[in-house]
Amino acid sequence: MDEKEGDSGEYAGRHEAEVADCVLDLSVFTRTPIYGAVREVEVTRPLRRASGQPVGGEEHAVENGQGAPAPVEAAEGAPEIAQSATASGLARFFRFGAGKDAGAGAAGSASAAARNGHGSARQVKGNGQARVQPVTYALWESRDVESTRLRKVEKQYALDPVDHVFSSAPFATETEAVAVSLSPSGLYMAKFFHEKTPPGARGTALNRVKGSIEIWSSSSIVISIDTSMEHGAFCTDEWFGGFSWSSTEDRIAYVAEQKPEPTLGYWEKIKDNKKKKVRHITRRGTEFLDDPHFGEAYNRLAHPSIFIVDLNAASIKRLRRLPRWLAPGEPCFSLDEKHMFFHAVPISEVQLGLRYCYNRPCAIYSYDLEDEGEDDDDAKQEREFDHEDENAVEAYPVGEEDDDGEVGSHNDDHEEPDQDDDGAGNSGDGDEDNDRGEGAEMEVFVDRMEDDVQDADHHLTRQMQQLGLGIASRAPPALENRRLPSCMQCWTSETADTIDLCARCPRLHPSGRYLVFLSTPRTKSNVHNATSRLRLVDVKDGSLQTLVDIPTAKEISHIHTDFPGLYCASLPRNIFVDEQTIVLDSVWGFWVLPMVLNISFELATAGVSLTRPLRPLSDDLPDVFDSYSSEVLDISDGYVLLSQSNPARPPELVVVKMKSDEDIEVLHVLDMRPEEFSVEDFLHFDDEETLEILNESGTEHRDGAEESPNRFQAMIVSPVTDDHRDGAHNAEGDINGVAPVPLICMPHGGPHSSHVAKFSLAIAAIVRSGMAVLLVNFRGSTGLGEDSLQSLPGRIGSQDVAECIAATEWAIKTNPRFSRSAVGVLGGSHGGFLGAHLCGQRPGLYRAAVLRNPVVNIATMSGSTDIPDWCFAECGLGPSSGCVVSSDSIFRMMLKSPIVYHDQVRARTLLQLGSKDQRVPASQGLEWRRALVHNKVPCHVSWYPESGHALAEIGVLDHALVQAIAFLLAAF
């Protein structure tokens, strides 16, 4: 982190040490479950040796296939023994999916089929009979502040049959896995690892990723497969992540970045090397071309694809007929394992940012895994995208370096090369002439680069002529030239003007007949996040229907009792409790609530209907979910695994047993927690208040507006009250002579997102430092209804600003601990946009501001952001073809921006900027700093050279938090 010129650093020196200690103390509460699984497993007798002696519950691995133990015979129904298969030097004794032929076609529960007769992770003895035992697994992520590391730890929890709670061992196990996936039966755990190596020299494969997949049983590793030569990094994000086990548990599908094409400079020579073969066809001079990527947080991801690992063959294959103009995610095997379902985003020549943008075209597809042939049209289309055209120079680069770092060579003349004794292509000492085609579009086939300078210059001149002075394109084919291969089918409309504009997260119904998916429609305003629908497609006849629709304004008469609509970025990996019950979570006001939907279906008539509409699970269990945000992590065997938290309670796990509507039981998961103190000792949060502004400036408002169509909400999180602080304000603004509690207004970003009442280290640290936080969900936020959300485009900078001002006035008026003399603002992205506006429009109210990557001038941002369509949409200009500005649009963008109020700002300001921010470029913050310095307003800048928009890196995030709190404390 660097501080730009003009920063004194004196503003926070006396507070930074104590704030840093506060953040360090609270970091023990930062554990967040990023993966969870619950399984009901059946226990059988252990494996036994041929002699009849117990193995002891361990699977044995043998290095390099040497020294195998005595043969082992399995218990009845246990995985088949594989005596000879090896992978990465590790001998395997299990044959995955032993019952594949018998159970592949069953249309029942995949987990039940895989679990039939298998062993278990935990044995429960009782009367000599096998018993079913539910177990829970969680992967927790926590921030190690002192060593600036993001740590991941694994814990397993078993149900105590007496106390009916899940408990675990006192210590967790740290893992370096980027992702994990528990098999449906609970017998195997897949762990995925990758790490990036420094970029290679020019002419080699760029950013080769060392990766591996490990499969673990209950007591040891079963197989390890190296992925380094197959693909790049694994995708684990909300768009392209997802892991799917086949029903027989012998294959896993996942998404990873395809290996990049190697490049070669115009003057780079190729060295003869018989040991290396050319694996790619590419152009010279393309090493600096920009591949279309998906914007902020995706700068290293350009061509994700679906890969399938065969655990028995220890092999990995890509779905090779999947067009490269589609970026897939969320793969899912069909029950018979003959098809793969997934969603996919089309790749454009000018790719807009994807992160948090659900107005991007996305469709649901299927892929026939048994149709691996390739017809002429498919092959031609793939070649077009891979640049095998008249400008291509073939057989140049090699994906690996020689021992001395030089680039190897290999012959390739569109024919199978002759093989010499060592198996390499024809690479003898004799010179060979280059074959040249006829006509204006002449192709150059280079077998081997001559050492002669004149000949090399001749090739270079010809190539540069054909390339148009080396300018090439990696753009995908034009829209009208895109065709799906015969093995693929699109299940949602591919046109962009339907309700299924952004169809994603396909989830296979237990019958195998239906896909349920999330769908966000295109809106007239073209906002990035709107109310979604839950949709269903019959994969037998292609019919579509809506399970959960978007409620109208009339249907949301009261915000606390009437469902406002479906607001979730994605669906849980499994949403089916059984064939008739769906559980997912959605934002409702300030809360994330688990929701239940009951359906009935008839396979004979393909009829699907709702027996009970979507409703909160809290209707059945009000005491469990009251004042908690609960996110669904996993569903299996009638158990729902949830992560619960609120501003005063760090995340904890809860299991809800839902075997039937009448038999709903809550099973708590006990875990070790710090005993020194709890967050509830110093932090209190009030119930949310529903407000309505009565004038355009926000100076007049009323509370209790739950039934108003213009309602918005606010919540106060504050230090625990001391008796001596109760009382009225005195003339100096103090409370009975005691300094008031500083109030920090914190508007969220987006703007179409929301604050949710769950645990936040940042809020807890601010409160423990003696300040209160005002969270504002203004109109335009998610969780308040579609009409409320659509009221904001065209009114940013006025409506949202007025509601933040009204919320601040309400908090000061209703809470005697707050004073107008100690009010600040903290926000990032659109929250920073609002913070800058608040300081400019109400300079007498907001005395200090911390702005993280703020939007300050939409007009100048529109040409450099990865989401230029956001600039048009939020300024009320709607969709814009090509996002090209005009003089009128620039003027309207400027009028909505905080920069027009810069001369009224008096609040001392701290700007925290990420140098690599593609969403709101750092130039926005620097523009604000330039304006404030010109007006002689104190302005400090922290510059994070390797950070993007979220400032999410572990060291950066904590530094920014400490600095922000210290800065605000020093201002009051």
The residues carrying an active-site annotation are: 829, 917, 949
Element (H or E) spanning 22, and its range? helix 13-26
Six-digit token string for 874: 């939020």
Cα angle: 226, vertex 347, 231; to 5 degrees: 5
How many other C-beta atoms lie within 10 A of the C-beta of residue 71? 11
Phi/psi zone of residue 542: left (φ > 0), alpha (ψ -120 to 50 degrees), beta?
Answer: left
Per-residue exposure over 41-66, b if at least 16 CB sit within 10 Å of its own CB, e if not: bbbbeebeeeeeeebeeebebeeeee
State the CB neighbour count (10 A cutoff) for residue 190. Answer: 22
Beta strand residue intervals within 358-493, DSSP E: 363-368, 393-394, 444-445, 488-490
CA gap 389, 398 in Å, rounded: 19
What DSSP letter does each residue of 687-741 carry, written as one string?
Answer: PPEEEEESSTTSSSEEE--TT-TT-EEEEEEEEPPPGGG-S-B-TTS-BTTBPPP
35 vs 30: CA distance, rounded Å: 15
Cβ atoms of 150 and 143 within 8 Å: the answer is: yes
Residue type for position 558: H
CA distance 866 to 871: 11
* Burial degree of 946 (CB within 10 A; 0-12, 13-18, 19+): exposed
Nearest to 906 by CA among 801, 825, 817: 825
911-927: b (≥16 Cβ within 10 Å) or e: bbbbeebbbbbbebbbb
Name 731's Cβ contacts closer than 8 Å, sequence gap at least 6: none
Q: Which helix (H) or strand (E) holds 2?
A: strand 2-3
Q: Report the C-alpha gap between 653 and 645 in whole angstroms.
A: 9
Whole-number Å distance between alpha carbons of 418 and 270 = 20
Tokens linked to 672:
């070790």
Query: Kind of pairing, strands 908-914 and 939-944?
Result: parallel
Q: How far apart are CA 263 and CA 265, in angstroms?
A: 7
Coil, strand or helix at 278: coil
565: CB partners within 8 A, 6+ apart: 531, 532, 550, 551, 556, 586, 785, 786
Please answer whether residues 133 and 159 qualify as being in contact, where contact means their C-beta atoms are separated by less than 8 angstroms: yes
Q: Which CA distances in Å does 173 have to 41, 151, 155, 671?
A: 22, 10, 7, 14
Which amino acid is it at 245?
Answer: W
Smallest CA-to-CA distance from 771 within 802, 811, 813 is with: 811
